[in-house]
Structure 1
Amino acid sequence: MQQGIKIGTRGSPLALAQANDVKAKLIAAHADLGDGDVEIVVIKTTGDRILDRHLMNAGGKGLFTKEIEDALTAGSIDCAVHSSKDMPTRLPEGLVLSTFLKREDARDVFMSAKYASFSDLPAGATLGTASLRRRAMALRVRPDLKVVTFRGNVQTRMKKLAAGEADGTFLALAGLNRLGMSDAATEILSLADFLPAPAQGAVTVEIREDDTAMAACLAPLHCDETALAVTAEREFLAALDGSCRTPIAAYATRSGNSLMMHAMLLSLDGKTVFDKTGTCAATLEAAATLGQDMGAAIRGDAGEAFFETLATDIEAEIE
């Protein structure tokens, strides 16, 4: 068994919780690994430094992974732990997502220091979020709300709420669960009303493609069911955009020998929604094809003019 394993991660409390979970699972899976054999290496990313504006102004999803992936490519770490929804659909050459842990609850939660539910927000209330998906989902049912950019880790956003910077915000339930903070959720939102981001709630481990020893070490941690769902969702994302510049939602679930996915593309204001469901056999190849086909179908329904208008709307919003 490989000794002296170095796990790369961001330094937020949630990222550290996820990395330490991977460490604990590795030690539990291999009798010859002890606590001193697995080291957590914290790497600060560009995305961690940008807290006052949309990531789109600075480069998108890759801002949370570049420095970590550079360290992985250079060999200074052996693997990297990420939230799957933060991963670009195209990885640097020579790197792969080898492992997906069992998926946590993928639902969003509404958080507020003033109101008991999202529907309780008064007309004109301020909603804080940097997610275009959450913005569009909220505005499609509550077009009266004022949306402002709200970034930072879980603790930072909760402090902003307490300080009155917004009347409410959204977080992923998976993150609260991993931090032992699920009781802080004001309201858990239904999947029917707030379809999650592709791969939300799934932790992945990235390695060098040629590192067969690390792949074998991680193999006991891998969840086939999560890999199926995330493959379909990420392929759907890739077919439409592949970054954080588009309000896209997708959620796939396995039932027996079948995989079903519900997916959406929205305009920034939530007034236009393209919504599809699809099913396929529960294999990785079929899951990838399902995501690609559903993405192509929705792209065809929307038309290129929709994407041109969306890009213009987003540029105007984030300036």
Structure 2
Amino acid sequence: MPERFFILDGHSHCYQAYYAITAKLTTPDGKPANAVYGFTRMLQKLLREHHPEYVVVVFDTKYATHRHNSYAEYKANRKPTPAELQAQIPLIYKVVRAYNIPIYAARGYEADDIISALVKKLSEKNVEIIIATSDKDMEQLLSPQVKIFNAKKGVMIDQETLYREKGIRPEQVVDVLSLSGDSSDNVPGVPGIGNKTALELIQKWGSLESVLSSIDQISGKKRQENLRLFSDQARLSQKLIKLYSEIPIPIDMNACKLDTTENAKLKKLFREFGFNTLLADMVATANNYLFRTNAFFSIKGFLVDHHPFFCIEYLYLWT
């Protein structure tokens, strides 16, 4: 049985935590803490229930990526991050660091691309890779070795689940979204083609290029017209959705290895944040669900670890 390597989508879980807990929670010094508390509970639940041998958390950075260069409107439809969530991001980093879980972020790359690069690197090793995210783009990474855990829904997705529910293979995920677009990232797709139609087209024709070369055989004059008029837009969407894995990213398995150990640093942080319930839970369970990793490491060009607030300068604060 291969060991489990969990890759946590930090951006996705920060937002989930913020909107999941609507109660006004603050630290003893008055800082908002609902997202911090929610993120911590989600992380605890993952560690407790799935017992991964390895864990890393991946965050976005504030810098533009190749997608912004290719398409100026990429993610332009997103609303500004709520100020209360933005203020909690540095505290969430502190939580991850208190667990001694490595944080990955790299200038010029989205977290999704870093996850893709990690998956490519880890595919050479005898591990089961679990991506913890609610991002449907990640389905393109599914393989016999890779699964997706959607914490929001509490479900594990593998390539068999994808085929059973959508009738497509992982390598077809990008082409479906290239036709339907992705409103969350402002990826345009082809007007008039929604997810259901996109699935039907890819199920029948197999790929985006096959669809575009078979327009005369596709039903509906308006659909044919849009496919002709917006074929370049579909190809652009394909480029935006396809994850980039050719990143020379370092992985030190020992640095990511987990161990159930007493964690005084985490206790101190829980006291600082006023998370008395979490602190009591630690004592009650004798720390047997808490994990820490071995020493951090850093490689030039990557933010695997730095001084205690490395994230403030480089990581995306959603301003």
What band does the TM-score fall into relative to the shorter chain? 0.3 to 0.5
Larger-Rg structure:
2
Greater RCO between the two (CA within 8 Å, min separation 6)?
A: 2
Structure with greater helix share of residues? 2
Which is strand-richer, 1 or 2?
A: 1
Q: TM-score scaled by structure 2?
A: 0.32
TM-score of the superposed pair, with normalisation by structure 1: 0.32
